[in-house]
Every structure is written in structure tokens, then in C-alpha cells.
Amino acid sequence: MSNPPGPPRAVPPRVLSVAGSDCGGGAGLQGDLKTAAALGAYGMSVVTAVTAQNSQGVHGSWPLPAEAVRAQFRAVTDDIGVDAVKTGMLASAELAGTVADLLAGLGDRVPVVVDPVGVSKHGDPLLAPDALRTLRERLLPRATVLTPNLDEAGWLTGVRVTGEDGMREAAAALLAYGPRWVLVKGGHLPGGAAADLLTDGTGEHWFRAARHPNRHTHGTGCALATAIAVQLARGAAVPAAVGSAKRYVTGAIAAGFPLGGGIGPVDHGWRSR
Ligand SMILES: Nc1ncnc2c1ncn2[C@@H]1O[C@H](COP(=O)(O)OP(=O)(O)O)[C@@H](O)[C@H]1O
Ligand SMILES: Cc1ncc(COP(=O)(O)O)c(N)n1
């Protein structure tokens, strides 16, 4: 016996994460899918690389063939469709170029949040050094929002950021590569506040939260970027999307918990506990 047809169901915003797999579940595509689910979106993933990592560090990393990345992307976009994309770990110059090509095929309508992941919280590399140029020249121009932390802003621009003036200088240098907006994350600056600067070159928006002493911050940047993508997928303007994502990640950091013997994960599901 089949169910009688009901009213059409609302479809949640569709968010695609193009990222590395973190088997430990805190960052990468696992963190992205948890974030999307926590915020009521439908998450999908294109795996760029498999990593073996946990709270103590990254113990191995295996990029996928470009063909596998293309096939995953096409499987999603040809059938299911996407309302926003988030990119994270891209592993190599070849994969960064492949992803840039795929995004170009998507057209300009779909917002793209580019998190230029370079190293893990433990300092382990997640991107080959020769990928920098491809990232800068091919990915950054397609970004609706680019979300570097201070180290990433430093290696993308050569600006050493040690304070809020340096964040402004790095943001201006990054805008020259073509992203529509830049969010320089000040999470690693010393001081009592975790302050992030959002700009499109016409003004500044500062997002400040009290710095939480919790050391369990694995996955902060991934959660923030995906939460921005979720709000953009819903049609929010960029400043509103970042404000909402900042509130989400601040709560997730405050609730981060000790799993493993090192840096534990943020709590993606904090709002439902
Ligand atoms: N201890 C903390 N307390 C509150 N917010 C933080 C803390 N650490 C980082 N953040 C915030 O988390 C977000 C991610 O930033 P960050 O940790 O710098 O990124 P990444 O994970 O890329 O290194 C930013 O909004 C930043 O301000
Ligand atoms: C697959 C993958 N992507 C991104 C990060 C960065 O997250 P964090 O900076 O919290 O280590 C990571 N560790 N692993």
C-alpha cells in the first residue's frame, strides 16, 4: 500500500562542501556536513583528499585523482543541484585547478565560500606549497567570500599580520585577487576578543566575540565557512550571513569538548543540546 500524496515538501538549502576528509570528525567535510545539518541545510560533499588525523595531528594525507573529484562534482550538480559551495582543503595545485574549472562551469549565480586551508591546527600541511599560485589566480577570483585565518592571509599576500591594522592591509591585498568579499579571521591574535574583519573594499564590518579559553577548537574555520555558505544558500546578504555564522561558531567553540588526548573538536550540534 503506498502513502497518499501529501503536500509538496519544502526542500532545504543545498550546500556542497569540496574538502578533505577528516576521519576524526571535527574538521573537513565531516565537520562541514555536521554544520550544515545543525543549521537545517542539506549537506553534500566532494572529497578532495583522505586524511588520517585525530586530536593530536595529521598522520597521513592522500589526494584523490582529479577525475574522481570531477566525477563527484558532476554527480551532485547534474542531478541534485547546489545553492552554495564551500571549498576547504584542496591538497595540490592540480586539484585546486580542477576545482576552479568546475566552479567556472557552475556560472556566477551560485555563491562560493573559499576557505584557503593551508595547515591544520597542529601545523601539519594540508596544501602543497606549489598550489599557492593556482589558489590565488584561479580560486580567489571566483570567491563570493574568502575566509583566511591570519597565517593564510600572510602566505597569500606576504603581509605579516600582528594586529587589526595588519588585518586591514591583508584584506586590501586579498581583494586585489578578485574575491567579492574577504573575511580575515582574527582568532589567532592575542587578546581578549576574537575579532574578524569583513570587507568588500567599500567599508568595514567587524565581528567580535569574547575569546573563549577552551582549547578544543579543532574545526573552527571549517564550521564558520560552511555556516556562511548555509546562510548564502538561503539568500542572505554577505554581512548578515557572516554575522549569523559568527554567532554559531562562537557557541560551538564555547561548547567544544575533550575527545582524544590533544585538541578536541568544536561542538557542531551545540544548539540542540
Ligand atoms: N578561543 C576562541 N574564542 C572565540 N572565538 C574564537 C576562538 N578561536 C577562534 N575563534 C573564532 O573562530 C573562527 C575561526 O577562526 P580561526 O580559528 O582563526 O580559523 P582557522 O580554524 O581557519 O584557524 C573566527 O570567527 C575566530 O574569531
Ligand atoms: C581535512 C581537513 N580540512 C581542514 C582542516 C583544518 O581544520 P583545523 O584548522 O581546525 O585543524 C583539517 N584539519 N583537516
Residues 214-258: tens digit of each pLDDT: 999 999 999 999 999 999 999 999 999 999 999 999 999 999 999
The pLDDT assigned to 191 comes to: 85
CA distance 206 to 115: 18
Identify the nearest ligand to the CA of 32 by its number: 2
The pLDDT assigned to 6 comes to: 73
Distance of CA 2 to the CA centre of its chain: 41
Q: Which residues, judged by CB distance below 6 Å to any ligand atom, belong to the binding site of ligand 2?
A: 19-20, 22, 27-28, 51, 53, 88-89, 117, 120-121, 126, 218-222
Cell numbers at residue 241, please?
550571513
Write out pLDDT tens, residues 67-114: 999 999 999 999 999 999 999 999 999 999 999 999 999 989 999 999
CA distance 6 to 126: 47
Q: Which of 222, 226, 246, 256 is catalytic?
A: 222
Rounded alpha-carbon distances, angstroms, from residue 218 to 54, 131, 267: 9, 24, 10
Q: Where are the domains of the chain?
A: 14-256
Measured from the Cα of 89, ligand 2's closest atom is: 3
CA distance 91 to 208: 31
Write out pLDDT tens, residues 183-206: 999 998 888 899 999 999 999 999
Taking residue 186's Cβ as centre, other Cβ atoms within 10 Å add up to 25
Write out pLDDT tens, residues 1-47: 456 677 778 899 999 999 999 999 999 999 999 999 999 999 999 99
Q: Give the residue whose CA is nearest to atom 20 of ligand 1.
A: 221
The pLDDT assigned to 256 comes to: 97
The pLDDT assigned to 173 comes to: 98
CA distance 31 to 42: 14
Architecture of the domain delimited by 14-256:
3-Layer(aba) Sandwich (3.40)
Identify the nearest ligand to the CA of 245 by its number: 1
- What average pLDDT score do residues 126-142 get? 97
195 CA distance to ligand 1 centroid (A)?
A: 9
Measured from the Cα of 220, ligand 2's closest atom is: 10
- The amino acid that residue 19 corresponds to is A
Q: Which residues contact 209 (CB under 8 A, 6 or more apart)?
A: 193, 194, 195, 246, 250
The pLDDT assigned to 195 comes to: 97
Q: Give the residue whose CA is nearest to atom 16 of ligand 1.
A: 187
